[in-house]
Structure 1
Amino acid sequence: MARRPLAMASGIMPEASPVDLVECAAAAGFDYGGMWIEPADWTAATTRAVRAALAATGLKLLDAEVVWIKPGPPDPAHDHILDIALELGARNLLCVSSDPDSAATAAKLARLADRAGNAIRINLEFGLFTEVKTIGQASAILRDIDHPAMALLIDALHWTRSGGTLADIAALPPHWLSYVQLCDAPMPGADPADPQAILTEAIDGRVALGEGSLPLGSLLAALPDHLPIAVEERSKALRDGWPDLHARAARLYRTSSEWLARQG
């Protein structure tokens, strides 16, 4: 069986520059990179530098993040993030929502999907730290939008903490899935009733694939074959233990590829 493609999620090195994200992922051996876009800081020169780094390394971007939907009218910054992602050739745009109005969230995502056309997938990620807390809520929004550019992003940690099941995944239309985010974590982990604990765990408490107790093997088996994996090991221990960005990326690739090889 062919190995699933691996990407380095941008969250593992929040201190990195956009060019660092490309160069570290490529040097470590990842098939894809991830890109964090801060629209207020991003310039045309940033785009040129990242495109040059992508061309020099041959790396492609699996995703760009993050569009954070909030109450109120559509945010022009979200269009800017999408346009940058398109210029960089990213395959996916990651979105989350803090808008408690699910219809408004759907409308804002639909607007992005229309803008995206068939050039990039608009991925809605669910999690207890957002207003789209479960895979069921995310599924309802995607059904409401009914747009071919829309996708549903499963993060192994958020799926587990929000009570997701393998049956929930089996019920998803396969075309909704464009990639998956994997990490590991201890069980039981953060209290699902404590939003701050959930967020802190998501940013600081993840561990390498195979070093925790999340049902990663079962999750992976339930997903379509060859679905790309973004390794989302956001971890204070990883940042502190590997302050050198290239060494951190190399360690992430080694532990992730070794775990993936054991899955058969």
Structure 2
Amino acid sequence: MKFSLAHLTVIGCPPPEMTYLAARAGYDYVSLRLIPMGVAGENLYLPEDKKMISDTRTALAQTGIEVWDIELARILVNKDPRDYLPAMEVAAELGARHVISSAWTNTTGDRDVIVEHFARLCDLAKPLGLTVNLEFPSFSRLTNLQQAADIVAAANRCNSAILLDTLYLHFSGVTPEEITALPHHWFQFIHVCDTSPEIPRDKQEMTRIARDNRLYIGEGCIDFSAIFKSLPADITCSIELPNLQRVKKYGYEEHARRCLASARKHLGAG
């Protein structure tokens, strides 16, 4: 099992620094946020920042770390998917394999728009050798696995996939049987973290937990064994585990180490 360090886990680290940190902590890959969301606490790491990209390329070469994916190509009604092309081109230059997307349209009857935009993202990504992975955050437009699967099936692109996140599997009540029922090749990697049993009923609290208060694997209630039995055996884990209190206590690097240590211990990865 291989592991990537997701940028949200250490969101204050610029990509070059994050790459060196990931190498010291024992990760195989980094997952970079090169398409900002404009949320609180997020720094801007833009693909047009040539020095930052050059420094990242140097860090990758010096450490042997690879880029697994970039995020986040959001599907919005008034957002042209072509606007994400510069970031995807930089991702391809850095050796990335995947792009994360999710839908934030919040408009009644917008399924066809989501399908169209997702398909166009896949078409833009294909010549670059990138797969587009559709995620379903429980506070976004798509809130469960069935909705995400409907979009991927309707888009019918060979470089499309679904990104599972163990937090959202818990929030949405997704069962292992639902995962098993879908094509295995739709699952290229998975975001992992743990969480407490309580499921928030409002989007604001879901968002707070997702961005600020995820738990180390083994500290919460998620049945990782059941989830992983329903997935391809060689699936890559991207550890997306932001926790403001842990970062304040340990610092980014030690937090990243503890994230990986708990994952290796509880996911049977040695």
Distance 1:73 1:80 in 2: 14
Partner of 1:64: 70
| Matching residue within 4, 8, 14 for 1:7 | 4
Partner of 1:112: 121
State the shift of 1:259 in Å. Answer: 1.8
* Residue deviations 1:154-191 (CA, integer Å, cap 9, x gap): 00111111121111101110111110111100102422
Q: 8 Å contact 2:134–2:162 — kept in the other structure?
A: yes
Partner of 2:16: 19
State the shift of 1:78 in Å. Answer: 1.6
Pairs within 5 Å for 1:75-114:
75-99=81-105, 100=107, 101-114=110-123
| Matching residue within 139, 143, 165 for 1:129 | 139
Distance 1:149 1:105 in 2: 16
Partner of 2:40: none
**Structure 1 length-normalised TM:** 0.92
Distance 2:35 2:177 in 1: 36
Residue identity matched to 2:265:
E
Distance 1:25 1:98 in 2: 30
Secondary structure of the residue aligned to 2:267 is helix
* Residue deviations 1:15-51 (CA, integer Å, cap 9, x gap): 1111122111111111111111146733122221111
Distance 1:74 1:166 in 2: 35
* Residue deviations 1:103-124 (CA, integer Å, cap 9, x gap): 1112111111111116111000
Pairs within 5 Å for 1:130-145:
130-145=140-155
Q: Are the structure 2 counterparts of residues 256 and 69 from structure 1 closer, same or farther at C-alpha, using a change threshold of 3 Å?
A: same
| Matching residue within 234, 241, 247 for 2:249 | 241
Structure 1 spans left out of the alignment, 5+ residues? none
State the shift of 1:238 in Å. Answer: 2.2
Distance 2:31 2:138 in 1: 23
Q: 8 Å contact 1:127–1:133 — kept in the other structure?
A: yes
Distance 2:79 2:263 in 1: 40
Secondary structure of the residue aligned to 2:32 is strand
Residue 259 in structure 1 maps to residue 266 in structure 2: yes
Residue identity matched to 1:149:
N
| Matching residue within 226, 231, 235 for 1:223 | 231
Structure 2 spans left out of the alignment, 5+ residues? 37-43
**Structure 2 length-normalised TM:** 0.90
State the shift of 1:213 in Å. Answer: 0.3
Residue identity matched to 2:216:
A
Secondary structure of the residue aligned to 1:117 is helix
* Residue deviations 1:212-259 (CA, integer Å, cap 9, x gap): 00122211111110100111112122222222x222222222222122
Secondary structure of the residue aligned to 1:168 is helix
